[in-house]
Amino acid sequence: MSGQKPRTLFDKIWDAHVVETLPDGTALLYIDLHLTHEVTTPQAFDGLRQAGRRLRRPEATLGVIDHNIATDASRYTGIVDPESRVQVETLERNAAEFGMPLIPLLDQRQGIVHVIGPELGRSLPGMTIVCGDSHTSTHGAMGALAFGIGTSEVEHVLATQTLLQKPAKNMKVEVNGTLPLGCTAKDIVLAIIGRIGTAGGTGHVIEFAGDAIRALDMAGRMTVCNMSIEGGARAGMVAPDETTFDYVRSRPMAPKGEALERAIAYWRTLPSDPGAQFDTVVRLEAGDIAPQVTWGTSPEDVLPITGLVPDPEAAEDEARREQMRRKMQYMGITPGQRLQDLKVDVVFVGSCTNSRIEDIRAAAAIARGRRVADGVRAMVVPGSGLVKAQAEEEGLDRILREAGFEWREAGCSMCLGMNPDKLTPGQRCASTSNRNFEGRQGPGGRTHLLSPAMAAAAAIAGHLADVRDFQPKGTV
Ligand SMILES: CC(C)[C@H](C(=O)O)[C@@H](O)C(=O)O
Ligand code: SF4
């Protein structure tokens, strides 16, 4: 390969999957893994049916039910909401008719699509991975090119196992140094979005690099890549390394033995070459990051927990001033208020951003030996049945329940208002999810995005709180 132009991780995965490039640069890409869920597949399967087509590669497709389901015992007695029930039953019927592998709702491996892909060892380094879901970027943490697609593209991939894609620009977000006490991957990615804004990554695929990213475990890398979409990027990724390979080794559906070793030898060739060109480079110092929390209705409305609600009058132009006033009115907050004084009604630990075992351990470490404040409803929703089982084996459910948290079944839950777990109008929620726009967690609900440890601290305090004031009691 000597003499070849140095390439980025993204370039390499792209090049390895191009079936054909059109004159305008658009490429037909081969897709290694197509994940599906109940929300964005019904019309796609209808389209196939009408055209008399089958699935091109059922074995490269995996379905799971996650958005529309209850996370309490009522999941065992059937879905009450008719629209939700129809979506779930439609996916089940389509999977049976088209021979698509589907994880049944009551299977222990069921969970949020972006949690189970890596967890089961289906999402692997070097792959192209798509799903009719914007947070498919999560799987980029494996060192894969993973992005969300629309329903018509879902149909295209089901029928052909390929996808037309315009080339993206390369962006590097480098985070160096050591994260201070109390800070996590969630704080890194919120700080990045605070810096670049929700449009900062537009047209780019972000590679997260630097020693603070290298130091993250796979769960942390997934949290960061998950939210790259909230920074406007097409996808986010982290180059595969020993942390990645160790993670893959223990996954049930990952290659084993000789096949795995051969795969690892290939995966070692994927990291960006020295001298590879990035169109945009952003650098952050991990040491400057403090525990983050959003105050407004966009993930870029983020501040350190020690901050004050900003003053719209200080904004540069009238349009922004007006926008900020509206956000504050919706959020029920006033300029100059201490973020730490904002009382919370609900605390949600879950979603594909933060529902892995590491996230639950982080919440339990703060909850241990403490009590959820009076009047606060706090819930922990594991990202999958396997995460739930692991947490129970570690006794985390007991710690959380004793502290007054609800311990639920796996699903998207209160991340979005599509199932029974919803905020009621005016409720304020400390949430480990990734979106905080108006009504996201239920009509009129007010969302503050933060890390699992920060969420647990808010549950105990009854208001947004600085996790650094809540050091763990004993070990979990
Ligand atoms: C329902 C689905 C299409 C949607 C997405 O694409 O992200 C959801 O997962 C979300 O987080 O809003
Ligand atoms: S957990 Fe939230 S962000 Fe993730 S797939 Fe479900 S609804 Fe979308």
How far apart are alpha carbons 80 and 101 in whole angstroms? 25
How far apart are alpha carbons 290 and 304 in whole angstroms? 6
Q: How far is the CA of 148 from the centre of ligand 1 (A)?
A: 9
Is beta strand 162-165 parallel, antiparallel or unpaired with respect to 169-176?
unpaired
Please list, in sequence order, all residues whose beta carbon lies within 8 angstroms of the beta carbon of residue 160, skipping any fewer than 6 positions away: 56
Query: Which atom belonging to ligand 1 lies closest to the Cα atom of 67?
Result: 1
Instruction: Tally Cβ neighbours within 10 Å of residue 314.
Output: 10
As its CATH architecture, domain 170-231+273-288 has 3-Layer(aba) Sandwich (3.40)
Percent of the chain whose pLDDT exceeds 90? 98
How crowded is the C-beta side of 122, counted as CA atoms within 13 Å?
24
Q: How far is the CA of 115 from the centre of ligand 2 (A)?
A: 10
As its CATH architecture, domain 292-469 has 2-Layer Sandwich (3.30)
Average pLDDT, rounded, for the chain: 97
Q: In the 3-class helix/strand/coil scheme, how is 308-330 assigned residue by residue?
A: ECCCHHHCCCHHHHHHHHHHHHH
Q: How many helices and strands in the chain, by DSSP H and E?
A: 15, 19
Domains 9-168+241-264 and 292-469 fall in the same CATH topology: yes
pLDDT in tens, 411-423: 999 999 999 999 9
225 is in an annotated binding site: no
What separation in angstroms does the CA of 451 have from each of 151, 250, 365, 416, 463?
Answer: 31, 26, 13, 17, 14
Q: Do 208 and 224 form a contact (C-beta atoms < 8 A)?
A: yes
Model pLDDT, residue 291: 98
Percent of the chain whose pLDDT exceeds 70? 99
Is the pLDDT at 475 greater than 70? The verdict is: no
133 lines ligand 1 (CB under 6 A): yes
Q: Do 129 and 148 form a contact (C-beta atoms < 8 A)?
A: no
Model pLDDT, residue 3: 67
- State pTM to two decimals: 0.98
Query: Mean of the pLDDT values across residues 363-383?
Result: 98
301 lines ligand 2 (CB under 6 A): no
Q: How far is the CA of 441 from the centre of ligand 1 (A)?
A: 12
Where are the strands (E) in 266-313, listed by range? 280-285, 292-294, 302-304
How far apart are alpha carbons 361 and 471 in whole angstroms? 14
First vs last C-alpha separation in the chain: 49
Topology, domain 9-168+241-264: Aconitase; domain 3 (3.30.499)
Please list, in sequence order, all residues whose beta carbon lies within 8 angstroms of the beta carbon of residue 82, skipping any fewer than 6 positions away: none
Is the pLDDT at 134 greater than 70? The verdict is: yes
Q: How far is the CA of 38 from the centre of ligand 1 (A)?
A: 11
Q: Binning pLDDT at 50, 70 and 90, where does residue 361 land?
A: very high
pLDDT in tens, 205-251: 999 999 999 999 999 999 999 999 999 999 999 999 999 999 999 99
pLDDT in tens, 429-469: 999 999 999 999 999 999 999 999 999 999 999 999 999 99
Model pLDDT, residue 2: 53
How far apart are alpha carbons 405 and 201 in whole angstroms? 36
Is the pLDDT at 161 greater than 70? The verdict is: yes
Model pLDDT, residue 4: 85
Taking each helix axis from N to C end, the angle separating 385-393 and 357-367, rounded to the nearest 10 degrees, works out to 40
Q: Binning pLDDT at 50, 70 and 90, where does residue 474 land?
A: low
416 lines ligand 2 (CB under 6 A): yes
**Residue located via tokens 């390969």:** 1
The residue whose CA is least distant from atom 1 of ligand 1 is 39
114 lines ligand 1 (CB under 6 A): no
Model pLDDT, residue 473: 75
Q: Do 354 and 368 form a contact (C-beta atoms < 8 A)?
A: no
Ligand 1 pocket test: pick from 65, 83, 114, 133 the residue with the most ligand atoms within 8 Å of its Cβ.
Answer: 133
Is the pLDDT at 476 greater than 90? The verdict is: no
Is the pLDDT at 349 greater than 70? The verdict is: yes
Q: Do 141 and 218 form a contact (C-beta atoms < 8 A)?
A: yes
Is the pLDDT at 394 greater than 90? The verdict is: yes
Is the pLDDT at 382 greater than 80? The verdict is: yes
67 lines ligand 2 (CB under 6 A): yes
AA identity, residue 318: E
356 lines ligand 2 (CB under 6 A): no
Ligand 2 pocket test: pick from 226, 352, 413 the residue with the most ligand atoms within 8 Å of its Cβ.
Answer: 352
Where are the strands (E) in 338-431, listed by range? 346-349, 377-380, 406-407, 428-431
185 lines ligand 2 (CB under 6 A): no
Domain ranges for the chain: 9-168+241-264, 170-231+273-288, 292-469
How far apart are alpha carbons 16 and 7 in whole angstroms? 12
How far apart are alpha carbons 242 and 331 in whole angstroms? 43
Query: Mean of the pLDDT values across residues 311-320?
Result: 95
Q: Do 293 and 447 form a contact (C-beta atoms < 8 A)?
A: no
Model pLDDT, residue 245: 98
What sign does the CA torsion over 71, 73, 76, 79 have?
negative
Is the pLDDT at 146 greater than 60? The verdict is: yes
Is the pLDDT at 19 greater than 90? The verdict is: yes
Q: Binning pLDDT at 50, 70 and 90, where does residue 95 land?
A: very high
Element housing 225 (H / E): helix 218-226
131 is in an annotated binding site: no
Q: What does the DSSP 8-state code read for residue 346?
A: E
429 is in an annotated binding site: no
Q: Do 411 and 381 form a contact (C-beta atoms < 8 A)?
A: yes
Please list, in sequence order, all residues whose beta carbon lies within 8 angstroms of the beta carbon of residue 114, skipping any fewer than 6 positions away: 131, 133, 135, 136, 138, 139, 222, 226, 352
Model pLDDT, residue 471: 79
Q: Do 372 and 459 form a contact (C-beta atoms < 8 A)?
A: yes
Q: Which ligand is nearest to the CA of 67?
A: 2
pLDDT in tens, 274-301: 999 999 999 999 999 999 999 999 999 9
